[in-house]
Amino acid sequence: MQIEMLRTKLHRVTTTRADLNYEGSISIDRDFMDAAGLFANEKVDVLDINNGARFTTYVIEAERGSKTIGVNGAAARLVQTDDKLIVISYCSIDINDAPTHKPKVVLFDDDNVIKEII
């Protein structure tokens, strides 16, 4: 049997852009993607800490070192620049592996600098 588990999390990352006129997705700095192990086009859930909005989208790569977290397209109506977000990806694993599964969690400060990777 398979079970869905947290795979990666960007915790308290700050929105740098909300662009209604851009192709829908979330733009994430390539450094942040690498730190979390996220892939371009990977499905993610986005949770807005400021207003409680939750939505599903996919990742597109933003310029490495830019500190960009850009919410694009229709989802841009759900966030504001400077909102704190949690970006989550999941994986399916064998239920027998669940007790030892360790997700990768990347913690951010208020300036989108990585504080810690757990």
CA 89 to CA 74: how far, in whole Å?
20
**Sequence-ordered list of residues with C-beta below 8 angstroms from that of 56, at least 6 positions apart, any chain:** 43, 44, 45, 46
Active-site pick, 22, 27, 58, 90: 58
Helix (H) or strand (E) holding 92: strand 84-94
Structure-block tokens of residue 31? 């450094």
Q: Tell me if residue 90 is catalytic.
A: no
Active-site pick, 22, 25, 66, 90: 25
Q: Tell me if residue 92 is catalytic.
A: no
H helical segments located in the chain: 30-36
The catalytic residue positions are: 25, 58
